[in-house]
Chain A
Amino acid sequence: AQSVAQPEDQVNVAEGNPLTVKCTYSVSGNPYLFWYVQYPNRGLQFLLKYITGDNLVKGSYGFEAEFNKSQTSFHLKKPSALVSDSALYFCAVRSNQGGKLIFGQGTELSVKP
């Protein structure tokens, strides 16, 4: 069965420091991996995706993610956090073309000045 785990309910970071939001997945076959961000009372906004190729993927707003096949992980990173990055972050996996997205439980990122 497909699954996504985000082991941290909340991540706290000081502005200007690097941030990491963790994600591990379980899927049969090649995974398609995604990160989304959700602001209060809003839908999800796409940040980045991994389909194939380079393990380091760059996305919107300075975010990047590193795909690690041996550890089945897809951690979200940013070199320097902003207060405006504070939001709810979701990792998701799709196991085949056109298939449903399986989301993690979400990680609340809080960036303090």
Chain B
Amino acid sequence: QKEVEQNSGPLSVPEGAIASLNCTYSDRGSQSFFWYRQYSGKSPELIMSIYSNGDKEDGRFTAQLNKASQYVSLLIRDSQPSDSATYLCAVGGSTDKLIFGTGTRLQVFP
């Protein structure tokens, strides 16, 4: 079992819709959770962090964490073609090292 699992996609949504990206992790001791966006050929860019159960909203982005289910998700409201990218879930444990999933490719079509 991989430490951080994501569906590789692609996830295709129409412009203006809500995109829902999901991630599960195996280490119950994980304490910090991040979503990164990566455009093709570019390096990852941090877009959200979450540390406690519940929702955290930042603009069009909402991160959701459920530690009991070992599940973290990212919702993107009013999706735009510029949101088309690979979204990486990253999980941190007792050390500062982050473990990344393989990423989910999101395609937003006009």
Q: Do A and B bind each other?
A: no
Give the interface of A toward B (CB within 8 A): none
User: B residues bordering A, Cβ < 8 Å?
Assistant: none
